[in-house]
Structure 1
Amino acid sequence: MYRYCSHLFIQQRQTHSLSRPSSIKKTLADLSDVLEKGRIQCGIPGMSVAILHKGKLIFAEGFGKRNEQEPFTSETLAPIGSLTKAFTATAIGELIAEGKMDWDTTSVNKYLPEFELKDPVLTSQLTLVDLLSHRTGLPRNVGYSWYRTTESRRDLIKRLKHVEMTSKLGSKTQYNNIMYAVAGEAAANVAGIPYEKLVETKILEPLGLTNTGFSPMEMKKRSPNHAMPFSAESLRDARKGLYVMDSLDEVYMACAPAGDMYSNALDLVRWGKIVMSSGKIDGDQVLNKEALRETLTAHTITASLRGSSDFGRVVAYGMGWALDSFKGQTYYTHDGAISGFQARLDIFPDADLVVAQLFNISVADWSHGVACYIADEVLDLPKTRDWIFDFAIKSTEMAYNEREAGLKGNLPKRIPSKQAAQDLHAYEGEYTNPILGDASVRVDVDKKTGKETLICKISAFDSKMEHYHFDAFVVRLKDALAAMAGLVTFRTGGHGKVEGLHFFNEEFKRKDNSNAGPYEAKEKQ
């Protein structure tokens, strides 16, 4: 990883072959300049935007860089994160149309026996709609054990039987990636093929989405024109072009049905057009119309009593799509974020408009503003706000502030002058939790101070542990997408020896007995 400065980010664009109706040529005349200026002010290394209106590709351009040297174009491939969810739900819909599954009658456990929850009644109740509309209430902290793991998807699913969950299903959207992984694996089990192959055969191949697929490594193999991920320490650095270029993730993604796909802006607007057309391509019904419409039917409530009159009072969630309105225009939307990348797809069915965006940095929040700006311009809607240079830039500033706050953590009041209750080596060892898996704590020497310090490895994160007070240490987990701080609190037994730790609202039990008291060691022999 290395830094480079903004003078290397001289604007380079590639304009795809376009068909622009004369009535909106003037409307789009300044769009390239507006997006380029906004890109720089939001600190985005590279991006692409494509607009499909009334069946015509009226805009498709790339801006900035896809790596250190080469331009980001409309054909550049990039991971799309949670835009994957709509592909997963649609592939499941095709199995339902074939009579192999159903949305809301059969429990998912019947399709995938490995899926069990602590409450057998809840296990027997949860259906595909429950999982795909995010209404199961599965705690989000479970997802940390799925991140960059070498364990199989099925083995991780088996852990869910230890999770405490409410048996009452609500109407509120409680976003969760893991349940999409369960639904995708259940569909794969029914089809008798891997999940990825299911989506390829049911969706990508029939629709001709030849630039869409799974995993960053496959993306890299498919085309040299692929984006690399970037990060910046602050918005100030990002605006100066002081980015760090990271590597593409080589680790198999356990929750692939929730967010492992890649695409380009051109394929995404094609996909959006097919969704908007109820599964038709050039008049031919390629996807099942009823199943696809079910994914666009409201099943949970994401937000209500919205403050802005530009949007609907209620935002609902279907299956893989958020359902909203903008100045009286219905639209289906979803965004995606995965380490070093973001994506967004907006579909305005009444206006026959599709907008796709891709960019190669995680901490930026301007895609919503861009979609609103384009809708205003293309559909000639009343101008109520500066969506780029006010809304989008403020949203991006807030995203960086939230990341900084996340690293500080919402910690309890510190008790000063309270040293660690044990010698650091007493905390060393392997710990385990039936839901989140293993954690390890080791003593290392700080290269700057020369003093001993604790290092905690939990999930894919490796973090220095800063002593806070007594047996509590601060751990800061950080990557291109996530940033959080929390307390790891060690637990001692009656013998005064460390026997476990508490983190992520979960208890981890010590696996070894190297620091156990004489009585405990004797009992374990």
Structure 2
Amino acid sequence: MKHKLTSLAAAVGLVSALAATHAAWAAPPATGLTSAAVDAYLDKTMESTGLPGMSVVVTHRGEIVHAGGYGRESDGEPVTARTPMRVASVSKSFTAMAVMTLVDDGRISLDEPVARQLPEFRMADRRAAGITVRQLLNQTSGLSDTTVDIGATQAATSLAGYVSALGTGTLAADPGTRWEYCNVNYDVAARLVEVAGGRSFGDYMEQRVFGPLGMTGSAVGDRVVRPSEGFNSVYGAWVARPELPGFRDGGAGGVVTNAADMGRWLINQTGGGERLVTPESLRTMHTPSTVRDYGMGWGEESVGGTRLLVHSGNLFTYTAVEAIAPDTGYGFAVMTNGAALHDDTYDVLTGLVAMSRGGTPDVPGGGRQTFELVLGLIALAAAGLGALGVLRSRRWASGRAGSPGRRIGLRLASVLLPVALFAGYPWLISFLMNGRTVTWEQLTYFAAPMTITFAVVAAAGAATAAMRLARLRSVVSTR
């Protein structure tokens, strides 16, 4: 769950780094965490994880300790500290910042209902009239993937259209009573920024957030800053794919940025660099609600004994995580141009946190490969068993020709169960993800190995059942 450098030395380091794949700024902090040590760790990480490309930045108070790029883009170009990366839900912390600038300006009130400040926000649930801006940002509004038309929102071409698509939706809980992660919260917040800020959300972010921090390689959506295609892991092999179409101009997941820019952002979030909001507003963003350990675009957790504010982000071909350690002043961001069933970015973050404490990091790797190897073996076994079932179908039919139909049905049910489960695959995954909306198309991206394996198991069951029934009919008709 994701700055303007003020010193001359940092600025000189930034300029020199732009031409290099592995970039580093500033003197090492007192803990001894050096750019060279981080670079060596990340080189090992790239080798052990097999990631296609990764960009990383580590900051300490007002300085960038290390920022670099590793691996390659889909067009074969090396990843650098300036390579654009989609950061998905890490965007939420940026959206919260945009809202808080308007709170400081007196144009948005955190504890007034959204509907009073954004009259176009209407839902088919009277309780929605009481949702406050704070509840949107804390994810305690009662909005849920299970009670709004997510398909309609993703088909929107503007934030105004997005909010309009919520008109038939309802709430899953009374506002302020339950935490539920829902992207709608932050896209509504982005529309509020547009209305209160008097310009498009992307323009507001550029002028009030990215611009003041010197984040010249960052934008909302991909019209201004366009990343290359990302990758999906398919049984261990990285396959380049265009990002899945959808609404990406909002506040829930639309930010495109890079390691150098994220360094400036992390410095700002730890109290350094150019000030965007008052210290009180920054503390408000970082303070969890009374319902859950989640503030405004930041979740709170402990990693290796270090208290972190963290936010991760997952699209269908990109993955990212950001974290700050308020007690030590460190900031971290890890971004990859690949998405798989196993997320390596958090493992890399954990290693960097250990290094910041003076410890020896575990080199991540093997989780993705092992998991996908197991799935591949299951698919091969299922294909083999399906072929065996087809070949032995005559023998099976001969042994059951005189059996009652109910018993035959029960015998076939075991091989048809995977078919039934596969038919409801998206709904099953949605259930396991606490109601988050999942579509068939989405399941062909980072979940591709699991989807293929499930399909092979279902196909093996269907082929076996079909051949058994055909053989049984043939046997019965000849008697």
What's the TM-score once normalised by structure 1's chain length? 0.64
2:208 aligns with: 202
Question: What CA distance in whole angstroms lies between the structure 1 residues aligned with 2:357 and 2:42?
Answer: 18
1:289 aligns with: 279
Question: What CA distance in whole angstroms lies between the structure 1 residues aligned with 2:33 and 2:107?
Answer: 51
* Secondary structure class of the residue paired with 2:343: coil
**Cα distance change on mapping 1:116 and 1:54 into 2, 3 Å:** closer
Question: What CA distance in whole angstroms lies between the structure 2 residues aligned with 1:92 and 1:401?
Answer: 45
User: Does residue 271 of the first structure (1) align with residue 265 of the second (2)?
Assistant: yes
1:478 aligns with: 443
User: Does residue 336 of the first structure (1) align with residue 313 of the second (2)?
Assistant: yes
Structure 1 unaligned residues grouped into runs of 5+: 1-12, 221-225, 238-242, 303-315, 419-458, 462-474, 486-525
Structure 2 unaligned residues grouped into runs of 5+: 1-19, 383-411, 418-436, 452-479
Cα contact 1:171–1:299 (8 A) shared by 2: no
**Cα distance change on mapping 1:414 and 1:27 into 2, 3 Å:** farther
Question: What CA distance in whole angstroms lies between the structure 2 residues aligned with 1:402 and 1:359?
Answer: 23
Higher strand share: 1
2:142 aligns with: 137
Question: What CA distance in whole angstroms lies between the structure 2 residues aligned with 1:214 and 1:404?
Answer: 41
* Secondary structure class of the residue paired with 1:18: coil
**Cα distance change on mapping 1:353 and 1:95 into 2, 3 Å:** same
AA aligned to 2:91 is: T
1:78 aligns with: 85
2:199 aligns with: 193
AA aligned to 1:246 is: R
**Cα distance change on mapping 1:400 and 1:129 into 2, 3 Å:** farther
* Counterpart selection for 2:350 from 372, 392, 399: 372
Cα contact 1:82–1:334 (8 A) shared by 2: yes
User: Does residue 351 of the first structure (1) align with residue 316 of the second (2)?
Assistant: no
Question: What CA distance in whole angstroms lies between the structure 2 residues aligned with 1:83 and 1:192?
Answer: 24
How much does 1:34 deviate? 3.5
AA aligned to 1:374 is: L
Question: What CA distance in whole angstroms lies between the structure 2 residues aligned with 1:414 and 1:357?
Answer: 46
1:229 aligns with: 230
**Which stretch shifts more, 169-178 or 367-376?**
169-178
User: Does residue 247 of the first structure (1) align with residue 242 of the second (2)?
Assistant: yes
How much does 1:261 deviate? 0.9
AA aligned to 2:339 is: S
Q: In the TM superposition, what whole-angstrom CA distance separates every residue of 1:431-476 from its partner, at most 9, and x where no partner exists? A: xxxxxxxxxxxxxxxxxxxxxxxxxxxx997xxxxxxxxxxxxx67
**Cα distance change on mapping 1:417 and 1:66 into 2, 3 Å:** closer
**Cα distance change on mapping 1:107 and 1:294 into 2, 3 Å:** same
**Cα distance change on mapping 1:348 and 1:22 into 2, 3 Å:** closer
Cα contact 2:69–2:80 (8 A) shared by 1: yes
AA aligned to 1:268 is: M
Cα contact 2:122–2:167 (8 A) shared by 1: yes
How much does 1:417 deviate? 9.1
| Alignment length (residue pairs) | 379
User: Does residue 298 of the first structure (1) align with residue 303 of the second (2)?
Assistant: no
Q: In the TM superposition, what whole-angstrom CA distance separates every residue of 1:248-285 from its partner, at most 9, and x where no partner exists? A: 56x672561101111111111210111110xx52xx64
Identity, % of aligned positions = 24
* Counterpart selection for 2:64 from 53, 57, 60: 57
1:168 aligns with: 174
Question: What CA distance in whole angstroms lies between the structure 2 residues aligned with 1:321 and 1:396?
Answer: 30
Cα contact 2:268–2:275 (8 A) shared by 1: no
Question: What CA distance in whole angstroms lies between the structure 2 residues aligned with 1:96 and 1:403?
Answer: 52
**Cα distance change on mapping 1:148 and 1:41 into 2, 3 Å:** farther
How much does 1:43 deviate? 3.4
AA aligned to 1:267 is: D
Question: What CA distance in whole angstroms lies between the structure 2 residues aligned with 1:86 and 1:198?
Answer: 15
Within 5 Å, give how 1:306-345 maps onto structure 2.
316-345=293-322
Cα contact 2:304–2:353 (8 A) shared by 1: no
* Secondary structure class of the residue paired with 2:239: strand
1:394 aligns with: 367
**Cα distance change on mapping 1:41 and 1:166 into 2, 3 Å:** same
2:130 aligns with: 125
How much does 1:196 deviate? 1.4
User: Does residue 37 of the first structure (1) align with residue 44 of the second (2)?
Assistant: yes
**Which stretch shifts more, 354-363 or 369-378?**
369-378
1:97 aligns with: 104
AA aligned to 2:233 is: A
What's the TM-score once normalised by structure 2's chain length? 0.69
Cα contact 2:319–2:343 (8 A) shared by 1: no
How much does 1:403 deviate? 13
* Secondary structure class of the residue paired with 1:259: coil
**Cα distance change on mapping 1:233 and 1:156 into 2, 3 Å:** same
AA aligned to 2:263 is: V
AA aligned to 2:445 is: A
**Cα distance change on mapping 1:30 and 1:97 into 2, 3 Å:** closer
Q: In the TM superposition, what whole-angstrom CA distance separates every residue of 1:213-271 from its partner, at most 9, and x where no partner exists? A: 12223213xxxxx543111222x33xxxxx2212356x672561101111111111210
How much does 1:185 deviate? 0.5
Q: In the TM superposition, what whole-angstrom CA distance separates every residue of 1:266-324 from its partner, at most 9, and x where no partner exists? A: 111210111110xx52xx6442222222111111555xxxxxxxxxxxxx100111122
Question: What CA distance in whole angstroms lies between the structure 2 residues aligned with 1:26 and 1:129?
Answer: 37
How much does 1:353 deviate? 1.0
* Secondary structure class of the residue paired with 1:67: coil
**Cα distance change on mapping 1:376 and 1:102 into 2, 3 Å:** same
How much does 1:171 deviate? 4.9
AA aligned to 1:335 is: S
